[in-house]
Amino acid sequence: MGQPFRTDQVVEAPYFADRDEETNKLLRVMRNRERIVLYGERRQGKSSVITRAARRLESEGGVVIMIDAWKVEDLNGINRAILKAVPFGWVKGTRLELLIRAFRGLVGLMPNEEGRPVLGLVGLSAHRDPHPDETLERILEGLNDVAGESKTPVVVVIDEFQNLEKIRTNGGALLRSIVQETGHLSYVFAGSMVGLVMNLIGPKGPFHGIERIEIGEIRADYLATWIQERSKSCGVEWTSDASPFLVAKAGPVTEYILRLAKAVHWIGTQSKGAVMPDTIDQAFAEIVADMDGTFDLIWSKMSNTRRKVLRGIADGEVRLTTDHFLSRYHLGSSSAASRGERELRDDGILAPGKPPRISDPFFAEWIRRQT
């Protein structure tokens, strides 16, 4: 009967819950050579929405060039990633000649790790480019020239695009200036560091005025019904109060809800009765125990200030600069507490917005068990 839930990977139907409206809007942007910003907390399904729309576009003959800027250290890395992501099947033949000519000797063919041909920087640029800003502009202009000769849309997707602000001063402004000059390309900019993204798309940000989609929480009642129906279709019965209890316990992030649903379904296949809230508590506890080594490693690398802030938030504290909080968790000053909260949010350990919330509910429970 199988496992009806998949986690830690990009998924499509029937494992894809909701998001039809967001997918269709994104597909429209991709088809029409427009620009859009997709943003929301990590693990809410942005990558699955993008991949779902991209595969539909590719089935229509479109081309998608997708990179992840999350761990890229500099603009040289961005430039190499874009070239490497260009599908060779699209640029071979006359398009390849046009593209290499558009790059004016900057780019050529070379083998990747598997020996397959990919585009890459040649000469000095292949090692340490002293002018990566100009190279980025030439790469996107070259792709734009080829897209102008194409009858099908060409889309550049930059996931975690807000990281350009970290690797280059005014990196967002640089990218936006290039985007404005490359009108034959569609662009999708996705980001999970919501605070940084809001700065980029806000009234004074370089991406202000670009269409945006927030990938937020899936409605709890919809998700609870979907989980119960998916599990039931694979032979596991649930009591009426079980799936709403699961969503409330692991929510609001979709990935964590589905991770718990996956564990609950497996327990359900091993027992004769219906899934109940007690079953969900059991599965939750097992996940926390299984993650002990990973959580312990994360914890060991944190400063004492961050640990104290997280302990307080895990205990349900929401006012982190009060005398009560500072005294109870032995923090020296309100500025230390505020700085720890900000750093934890920047690292994605805390969710965006207020009140403060630990993104991973299993990590939050692990912390509570340490104190």
pLDDT (tens digit, 9 = 90+) per residue, 144-201? 988 998 888 999 999 999 999 999 999 999 999 999 999 999 999 999 888 889 999 9
Say yes or no: 263 and 145 in one domain. Answer: no
Calculate mean pLDDT across residues 307-329: 95
Please give the pLDDT value at position 9: 64
Please give the pLDDT value at position 287: 97
Q: Cis check for the bond before 352: say yes or no (omega within 30 of 0).
A: no
State yes or no: pLDDT of 28 exceeds 70.
yes
| Residue 34, token pair as written in the block | 């427009």
Domain end (from 258, 290, 322)? 290
Calculate mean pLDDT across residues 82-101: 78
State yes or no: pLDDT of 67 exceeds 90.
yes
Report residue 126's pLDDT band, with 50, 70 and 90 as the boundaries. Answer: low
Position with higher pLDDT, 86 vs 246? 246
46-59 and 20-31 helices cross at what angle (nearest 10)?
50
Say yes or no: 177 and 304 in one domain. Answer: no
In a domain, 12, yes or no: no
Could you count the other beta carbons within 10 Å of the beta carbon of residue 188? 26
d(CA 69, CA 71): 6
Q: How far is CA 21 from CA 10, 17, 24, 48, 215, in A?
A: 18, 12, 5, 13, 11
In a domain, 169, yes or no: yes
Classified as helix, coil or strand, 159 is strand
In a domain, 11, yes or no: no
d(CA 130, CA 123): 12
List, in order, residues 6 or more apart from 296 with CB less than 8 Å away.
none
Residue 286 Ramachandran class (φ > 0 left, ψ -120 to 50 alpha, else beta)? alpha
Angle CA 296–162–202, to nearest 5: 120
Say yes or no: 300 and 360 in one domain. Answer: yes
In a domain, 9, yes or no: no
Please give the pLDDT value at position 296: 97
State yes or no: pLDDT of 125 exceeds 70.
no
Say yes or no: 174 and 257 in one domain. Answer: no
Calculate mean pLDDT across residues 56-71: 93
In a domain, 92, yes or no: yes
- CATH code at 323? 1.10.10
In a domain, 324, yes or no: yes
Say yes or no: 227 and 127 in one domain. Answer: no
Q: Can you list the positions of beta strands (E) in 149-269?
A: 154-159, 186-191, 211-214
State yes or no: pLDDT of 289 exceeds 90.
yes
Percent pLDDT > 90 in the chain is 65
Say yes or no: 53 and 154 in one domain. Answer: yes
Structural domain containing residue 313: 293-370
pTM for this entry: 0.81
Say yes or no: 51 and 199 in one domain. Answer: yes
Please give the pLDDT value at position 43: 80
Domain end (from 188, 214, 240)? 214
Please give the pLDDT value at position 19: 82
d(CA 160, CA 172): 12
- CATH code at 158? 3.40.50.300
Say yes or no: 44 and 88 in one domain. Answer: yes
Please give the pLDDT value at position 7: 78
Report residue 11's pLDDT band, with 50, 70 and 90 as the boundaries. Answer: low
Q: What is the phi/psi pair of residue 357, to 5°? A: -145, 135
Among the ranges 70-74, 200-204, 214-218, which has the highest mean pLDDT value?
Answer: 200-204
In a domain, 151, yes or no: yes
Q: Which residues pair with 65 in a beta bridge?
A: 156
- CATH code at 254? 1.10.8
State yes or no: pLDDT of 371 exceeds 70.
no
How do beta strands 117-121 and 107-111 pair? antiparallel
Residue 294 CA neighbour count, 13 Å, CB half? 8
Domain end (from 171, 196, 214)? 214
Please give the pLDDT value at position 201: 95
Say yes or no: 278 and 297 in one domain. Answer: no
d(CA 47, CA 9): 9
Q: How far is CA 190 from CA 56, 187, 195, 321, in A?
A: 18, 10, 13, 32
Total structural domains within the chain: 3
Please give the pLDDT value at position 307: 96
In a domain, 319, yes or no: yes
Say yes or no: 143 and 185 in one domain. Answer: yes
Say yes or no: 259 and 362 in one domain. Answer: no
Q: How far is CA 57 from CA 14, 151, 178, in A?
A: 19, 13, 24
Q: Please choose, from the candidates 71, 102, 174, the residue with its C-alpha nearest in 3D space to the C-alpha of residue 131.
A: 174
Say yes or no: 31 and 180 in one domain. Answer: yes
Q: Please choose, from the candidates 321, 306, 323, 322, the residue with its C-alpha nearest in 3D space to the C-alpha of residue 358.
A: 306
